[in-house]
A and B are shown apart, each in its own frame.
Chain A
Amino acid sequence: MKVKLRNPDRQVELAGGRVIREVLDELGVNPDTVLVIKDGELVTRHDHVGEGDELEVRPVISGGSA
Chain B
Amino acid sequence: MKCRRCSGSAVVEVRRHNAAFCKDCFPAVFTEQVRRAIRRFDMLEPEDRVLIAVSGGKDSLALWDVLLGLGYDTTGLYLGLGIGEYSDRSHDTTAAFAGSRGADLVVVDLAEEYGFDIPTAGRKGSRSTCAVCGLSKRYVFNKAAVDGGYDVVATGHNLDDEAATLLGNTLRWKTEYIARQSPVLPATDGMVKKVKPLHRLSELETAAYAFLRGIDYVVDECPLVAGNTQLRYKEAMNSIEAASPGTKAQFFLGYLDRGMPLFERTSRPTVRPCDACRQPTTGRYCAFCRAQAQVLGRRIEEPGPDDGLETARAMSEEVMPAEMYGAAGA
Contact = CB atoms under 8 A, between A and B. Distances in A.
A65 B130 contact: yes
Interface string B1-36: 100000000111101000010010000000000000
Given A45-B13, A65-B134, A58 B53 contact: no
B137 A60 contact: no
B207 A60 contact: yes
A46 interface: yes
Contacts of B141: 66
Interface residues of A toward B: which range?
Answer: 20 to 34
Given A42-B212, A45-B13, A66 B203 contact: no
A62 B57 contact: yes
B208 A42 contact: yes
Contacts of B11: 41-44
Interface stretch (B106-114, B217-225, B265-273, B287-295): B217-225
Interface of A: 6-7, 30-35, 37, 41-46, 58-66
27 contacts: A6-B219, A6-B220, A7-B219, A32-B204, A32-B238, A33-B204, A34-B204, A35-B207, A35-B208, A41-B23, A42-B23, A44-B12, A44-B13, A46-B1, A60-B58, A61-B203, A61-B238, A62-B225, A63-B228, A63-B234, A64-B130, A64-B222, A65-B130, A65-B228, A65-B230, A66-B155, A66-B318
